[in-house]
Amino acid sequence: SINYEDKIPNNVDLSSDRRLQRALEGWQPKFLNWWGEMGPALENQGVYLRTAVSVGREGWAHFDHVALEQYRWGIFLSEPRQDRRIAFGENRGAPAWQQVPGEYRADLQRLIVVQGDTEPASVEQQRLLGLTAPSLYDLRNLFQVNVEEGRHLWAMVYLLHAYFGREGREEAEALLFRNSGSPDSPRILGAFNEETADWLAFYMFTYFTDRDGKYQLGTLKESAFDPLSRTCEFMLKEEAHHMFVGTTGVDRVVQRSADLIREHDTMDIAAHGGIPLEIIQRYINFHYSVSLDLFGSETSTNAANYFTAGLKGRWQEERRTDDHKLTEDAMFLDKPGADGIWTQEELSALLLLNLDLRGEYSADCQNGLNRWNKILSDAGIDFRLSLPHVGFNREVGVYSDFHISPQGTVLDAATWEQCRAKWLPTSEDFTFVRSLMYPVYERGRIASWVAPPRQGINGKPFDYEYVYLP
Ligand code: BYC
Ligand code: FE
Ligand code: FE
Ligand code: FE
């Protein structure tokens, strides 16, 4: 059901709209140029990648060695649902929109641009990681994530070109112009201007930050704008692998650290080439808190308006058992009072939709912590990893004016600063972790600081030649 004959693979019958096809074919070389400059830095001659062959439930992926720049990025939307209706907000029950209603044009365009901006940003952040991959298996997973984030950019650019006219085309150009960490034209959201400087950071990013992607895409999948909904539905299928890379990546780091702790009977495993558990905890604290900022402020009139209009729903909107309008509902927000004691403020549920989504996200994040702690307890190690308090280290939202410890204690600025090095990765931590990062490109071999995976990709063994190097 995907047409690979066209220059741009697609399942949207692109060739029937010559103007759109020409416009996208004009953007394609600019994308490839960006990929060449900002994409993976490591030269390679073929990566064992999956490519979408259909968008259906079963068997959508084909696996083969492909040189990265030959990857067939394209436009893949999930199958339309017959007679799809708007599931929430003031337009609940009306037919989903196949075109953009004029009154919501600016808001929809903004949401699509913000979503689109994160995708190439992450590729830029991960550009150098291929130079220090701990194994060919990991190198392949990095590249798989990278090409799919590139495809997610295509997904948003298609919507901008197809539905937002000249302004949409200009925004599509701007998505290639802004760059992660650029002083003059940075990426839109904070977390996407941070460095992903080492592989522990990469696993944490794919665990915590790609998971924000999962939840945001989940809310856009509910959108009344049907092309956006179908686009996000297929992106979510690809996204599952990104989070698998994160979950099992951290699993394997924790496993290796646990093995070294037992083997050498010390928590101080740095000298033995492992990553101490305190450093892993500080990485968790950083990546989780920065990812929480991606949900926007806990109280948001933007979010209320998006919901009421039908642009952005809740996580699993259709499984919720309320009236899907929320005009009468209330929710509680935890806030520190002036005395530093936590209190609850009752507010309109509409105003707290970012908080609602963030709550779903946090509960999901906790599953990883449980897995990693099980690895530690199975190894007979008492240390436990934990998620810091939602108010810890926040720069967006109601907690950004406070200094809150990982345990949720409200502190004065000086005390918080004194403890910073205990809670967030220090420059010594980064230097140490970076000292462990060296490339291991021999088949079946792996770096000192991470355990091998239990299984390879697509039934292949761990020692498969996942990447052909020059
Ligand atoms: N940094 O009402 P507020 C992914 C701005 S990740 C900078 O609090 P709202 C992926 C906000 O734009 C998923 N600015 O927030 C993962 C607004 O500005 P304006 C990405 C921020 O609007 C890994 C103002 O502050 N997708 O896919 O309710 C690899 C007040 O806003 C930030 C989306 O984000 C921030 N962190 O919610 C690859 C979905 N937070 O309008 C990919 C689309 C807020 O006053 N985006 N601001 O100028 C949205 O739904 C919303 O824009 C947000 C913000 C959830 C981001
Ligand atoms: Fe083949
Ligand atoms: Fe993505
Ligand atoms: Fe992703």
Give the C-alpha separation, 246 to 209, whole Å.
Answer: 10
**Residue 149: nearest ligand to its CA?**
3
- Ligand 1 atom at shortest distance from the alpha carbon of 295: 55
Q: What tokens does 77 get?
A: 């939307």
Using a CB cutoff of 5 Å, list residues around ligand 4, an ion: 210, 213, 239, 242
Could you give the number of structural domains in the chain? 1
Contacts of 90 (CB under 8 A, 6+ apart): 308, 309, 310, 325
CATH of the domain at 337: 1.10.620.20
> Measured in whole angstroms, how far is the alpha carbon of residue 458 from the centre of its chain?
22
Q: What is the pLDDT of residue 366?
A: 98
| Residue 285 in domain | yes
Decide: 298 and 354 in contact? Cβ < 8 Å.
yes
Q: Which of 294, 295, 357 to mutate to test the pocket of ligand 1 (most atoms within 8 A of CB)?
A: 294
| Residue 204 in domain | yes
Give the C-alpha separation, 176 to 161, whole Å.
Answer: 14
Q: Whose CA is nearest to atom 44 of ligand 1?
A: 296
| Residue 359 in domain | yes
pLDDT digits (tens, 9 = 90+) for 343-394: 999 999 999 999 999 999 999 999 999 999 999 999 999 999 999 999 999 9
Burial 348-382 (b: 16+ CB within 10 A, else e): ebbbbbbbbbbbbbeeebeebbeebbebbeeeebe
| Residue 306 in domain | yes
Protein residues with CB under 6 Å of any ligand 1 atom? 111, 114-115, 118-119, 122, 149, 189-190, 209-210, 212-213, 216, 293-297, 300, 302-303, 312, 354, 396
- Ligand 1 atom at shortest distance from the alpha carbon of 312: 50
| Residue 334 in domain | yes
What is the C-alpha end-to-end distance of the chain, expressed in Å?
A: 35
pLDDT < 70 positions in the chain: 57-59
Give the C-alpha separation, 307 to 224, whole Å.
Answer: 10
Q: Which of 242, 290, 297 to mutate to test the pocket of ligand 1 (most atoms within 8 A of CB)?
A: 297
Half-sphere exposure of 255 (CA within 13 A, CB side): 12
CA–centroid distance, 49 to ligand 2, in Å, is 10
The answer, as to whether pTM is greater than 0.90, is: yes
| Residue 371 in domain | yes
**Stretch (H or E) spanning 61:** strand 61-66
Domain containing 250 equals 80-468
Q: What is the pLDDT of residue 54?
A: 83
| Residue 3 in domain | no
| Residue 207 in domain | yes
Q: What is the pLDDT of residue 58?
A: 65
What ipTM does this complex have? 0.93
Q: What is the pLDDT of residue 338?
A: 79
pLDDT digits (tens, 9 = 90+) for 29-41: 999 999 999 999 9
